[in-house]
Structure 1
Amino acid sequence: MMPFIRAMEEGDIEKLGALIEAFLLAGNPDEQYELADLLAQYGFLQEAVQVLDHLHYLFPEESQLKIDQAQLYLEMDKEDAALELLTTVDKSSEAYPQALLTLADYYQMIGLYEVAEQKINEAIGILPNEPLLLYAKGELLLETGRYLEAARIMEDLIPVKDAIPAVDLSLKLAEIYSAGAAYEEAIPYYEEALQKEVAPDVLFHASYASFQVQHYETAVKHLESLLEIDPDYFSGYMLLAETYAMLEKNEEALKAITDGIARDEFEKEYYLFAGKISLKLGRVKEAESFLREAIVLDPEYMDAIFILSSLFSSEEMDEELIELYETLKEQHFEWSSMYPFIASSYERLELYDEAYAFYKLAYTEHKEDAAFLEKYVYFLLEEGKRDEALEVVAVLQKLQPENSTWFDLVE
């Protein structure tokens, strides 16, 4: 087969075609069948079909050839040709269950899950103990969100797992339980899979499952191993930082996320998280810097904008808040959630006309926010706008009917 391999690796289609023509005349059918498989492996699907066509001509009743050719047609997006071949496989043929399975794969691929399940069930009816058919049904159930049924099938296959050598059933069960949010059940299977192979994806998903059930120390162990193996596994930095935060190890959380930033300086969520953790640590300037970086990456990043606005407001950094608002406005982004903060800033700066304008803007969108409405009422009273204050008080009375303050204030 070496001449064929060299021609394929060199991409010499003309030479490959000549070799195939000669081999179809001189080779024996078994070797020709091997050639079809080799061509398919290298991605020369049309040439593989050519060889199978020849064999089909020699052995027109051989069902396996029809199935092989149909599978190639499916890869080539020639569904009609594939279906025509598959539907001609005789029900009495030993290959009929495989034809049904190929049909099921096709219907599953195009989203006709009920039809796919019917085909698999028909095949299982013929070969009820065939592991590959049962595994295929488990995969279909997983894809359609029937996690418990899928898990039962996969667990039943564990005693015969050697019959499915290309699949790690432990890992598959872990994935199924995780997909169904049954993380506690998934964890032992992840651990079993990790005993066989310590792979980055498995470590990440094992740590995520541990995080979900609050096994934070285990999650940290897996994530540190993951990032040691693959420092560019970016999702690991965020999860590690979140895990340290849950353990109230905020210094470690900040280090984890800044390590992530060093690896991927364009991930806005890293900067947002770093800003939040810096605030927890009382590092206001550091938090401001991280949040500003997040907004530079995405000028409409509402989470970062809100937290930075809240920070400026609580620290009475009024000029900075107004500057942020004006900068965003120049970039054609304006968000009503900023208005209460800006109104308070203008009020503290004794720019009462501007404060009044933003209070009015905020009032339209924040009539359910009692804390804002309270500030607005007292601002209006200070400005002598009693009729407007009464209107806002009426809203507060409805929101907080148990609070006598608002009824007393009217009196």
Structure 2
Amino acid sequence: MAFVDQMLAQLNTGELANSVQLLEKALQFDDPEELFAGAEQLGQAGFSQQAAQIYQHLLDQYPQEDILKVNLAEIKISNDQVDAATDLLAQVSPDSPAYLNALLVGADLYQTLGLYEVSEQKLQQAIHLAPKESVIQFALAELYFNENKFAAALTFYEKLQSQGEKEISGIVISQRLAAVYAGLGQYEEAVQAYQQTPLAFLNADNLYNYASLANKLERNSLTKKVLEQLFQLSPDYAPGYLLAAKLAFKQDQPDKALRFAQTGLSYDPFQVKLYKVGSQAAQKLAEPETAVQLLQMGIKQVSENTALVLSLSSLYLKLGQDQTNLDLLAQFEKQLQDEPQAIWNRGRSELHLDQITAAQTDLLAVYQAYQADPVYLHDLITVLQQGTQDKLPALKAALDKYLKLVPDDYEMDALAQELRGLDED
């Protein structure tokens, strides 16, 4: 047994004590073919340091063997020795039998450096030399995929699939096709690609994306099935619970929606949307205390909590808890100063509490933001009716806009006619 094979066997079993001595003996006594084969196996097993020493030893003896330069350059790239790798690859001429390998390793090098255009040039040279080589097709597909150039990536992934390729370097082709189709907005094709992918090859992220696509297509049964598979594989995958909660809520199953939201929050208490959908489900179940508690919990837990504060404010309005709403908005006044919704909500509570002057000020302040919203205009008209004579122009303007949006509101139409009558008098 060659010394290099003995060393590999010991390294694979974790016996490192004699590896240095065995490497020295391998370099001294093993023949070049044994050393080259052993270096390849060492590299594949992750023992790149020992592999590099062997390649360098062989290169010193056989400087004309370009494949040694290419293999050594590949190791140096993984060790962030970019300059050394570049120098080695530059020594491989276009007429060398190892030139194709050098192009592939060079493409990997430039991709590592973020020089995608140069990497693409290397791969295009390679595909020109070997147009049917699946490894090169796959490398181009992956390059385009990582650059979000999905149409270009699709060409090569489909070609690989048509050639019978199912998996390369641990990447499942149908799985990549699903992601590419999704990126192109071809959701039906993406779902079909996921359906062609064995479940064993789908991780939690894949299953979540699969379920999301099925949900976009309103294939509810498939969405539920994939989510069940997701939770079996990864019970703590919080985004999956958000999708499940939204689907249950859409299907008028607020009890399930609430359970999904609460379960998801037990795994990830920083998911803003889970608090919101959970609160909505609780409201639909006529459980206002639960709805309030969820939003209060989220406000305490999440640093970026403006959306939750606004949701709680709107809920307090719905529950008729106007003073509590004003207290909440006062607590977060600085944070909400540029939020029109907060100012409108405050104005509504002030109106309900007969704080007319304050309500007029707040509701008029957000006129530009909500002048196309009939609910807002109705609030504004209500408060301006209780104002002084100087508010009449604003009242008439609000009425005019409102009636264009809601022409069959006879009460408001009567008010408009009354105001026109005053003008005539």
Which TM-score band (shorter chain)?
0.7 to 0.9
- Deviation of 1:316 (Å): 1.7
Deviation string, structure 1 residues 70-111 (Cα, Å, up to 9, x no partner): 112222222222122112112122221121112222223333
* 1:178-197 correspondence to structure 2 within 5 Å: 178-194=182-198, 197=201
Partner of 1:33: 36
**1:227 is aligned to 2:262:** no
Asked if structure 1 preserves the Cα contact closer than 8 Å seen for 2:39 and 2:54, the reply is: yes
Asked if structure 2 preserves the Cα contact closer than 8 Å seen for 1:7 and 1:15, the reply is: no
- Deviation of 1:64 (Å): 1.4
Partner of 2:69: 66
Which whole-Å CA distance do the structure 2 matches of 1:48 and 1:62 have between them?
Answer: 16
- Deviation of 1:44 (Å): 5.7
2:100 to 80, 94, 97: 97
Which whole-Å CA distance do the structure 2 matches of 1:115 and 1:205 have between them?
Answer: 32
SS at match of 1:217: helix
Asked if structure 1 preserves the Cα contact closer than 8 Å seen for 2:6 and 2:22, the reply is: no
1:349 to 346, 353, 362: 353
- Deviation of 1:188 (Å): 1.9
1:246 to 245, 250, 254: 250
- Deviation of 1:282 (Å): 3.4
Partner of 1:206: 210
Which whole-Å CA distance do the structure 2 matches of 1:43 and 1:37 have between them?
Answer: 10
Partner of 2:142: 139
Deviation string, structure 1 residues 9-45 (Cα, Å, up to 9, x no partner): 9797x97555544442333334433554465457664
Q: 1:195 to 1:48 in 2, by over 3 A?
A: closer
Partner of 1:295: 299
Partner of 2:84: 81
Q: 1:363 to 1:5 in 2, by over 3 A?
A: farther
Asked if structure 2 preserves the Cα contact closer than 8 Å seen for 1:131 and 1:160, the reply is: no
Which whole-Å CA distance do the structure 1 matches of 2:122 and 2:159 have between them?
Answer: 21
Q: 1:79 to 1:340 in 2, by over 3 A?
A: same
Asked if structure 2 preserves the Cα contact closer than 8 Å seen for 1:220 and 1:244, the reply is: no
Which whole-Å CA distance do the structure 2 matches of 1:144 and 1:300 have between them?
Answer: 31
- Deviation of 1:218 (Å): 0.5
**1:267 is aligned to 2:271:** yes
- Name the stretch that deviates more: 256-265 or 62-71: 256-265
Deviation string, structure 1 residues 260-294 (Cα, Å, up to 9, x no partner): 22333343332122012222333322211111111
- Deviation of 1:3 (Å): 5.3
Q: 1:348 to 1:400 in 2, by over 3 A?
A: closer
- Structure 1 segments unaligned to the other structure (5+ residues): none
Asked if structure 1 preserves the Cα contact closer than 8 Å seen for 2:381 and 2:399, the reply is: no
- Deviation of 1:52 (Å): 1.9
Asked if structure 2 preserves the Cα contact closer than 8 Å seen for 1:194 and 1:203, the reply is: no
Which whole-Å CA distance do the structure 2 matches of 1:163 and 1:286 have between them?
Answer: 49
Partner of 1:258: 262
Which whole-Å CA distance do the structure 1 matches of 2:312 and 2:78 have between them?
Answer: 51
1:176 to 148, 159, 180: 180
Partner of 1:107: 110
- Match of 1:111, as an amino acid? G
1:152 to 152, 155, 176: 155
- Deviation of 1:311 (Å): 1.5
Which whole-Å CA distance do the structure 2 matches of 1:395 and 1:17 have between them?
Answer: 87
Which whole-Å CA distance do the structure 1 matches of 2:112 and 2:11 have between them?
Answer: 33
- Deviation of 1:173 (Å): 1.4
SS at match of 2:252: coil
- Match of 1:182, as an amino acid? Q
Which whole-Å CA distance do the structure 2 matches of 1:208 and 1:257 have between them?
Answer: 17
2:53 to 47, 50, 58: 50
Which whole-Å CA distance do the structure 2 matches of 1:42 and 1:165 have between them?
Answer: 14
SS at match of 1:65: helix
- Deviation of 1:130 (Å): 0.7
1:375 to 369, 379, 388: 379
1:216 to 190, 213, 220: 220
2:119 to 103, 116, 125: 116
Partner of 1:276: 280
- Name the stretch that deviates more: 134-143 or 386-395: 386-395
- Deviation of 1:371 (Å): 4.0
- Match of 1:53, as an amino acid? Q
Deviation string, structure 1 residues 100-125 (Cα, Å, up to 9, x no partner): 11222222333333322221111111
CA-based RMSD: 3.3
Deviation string, structure 1 residues 282-332 (Cα, Å, up to 9, x no partner): 3322211111111112254232222221111122211210121132248x5
- Name the stretch that deviates more: 297-306 or 70-79: 297-306
SS at match of 1:193: coil
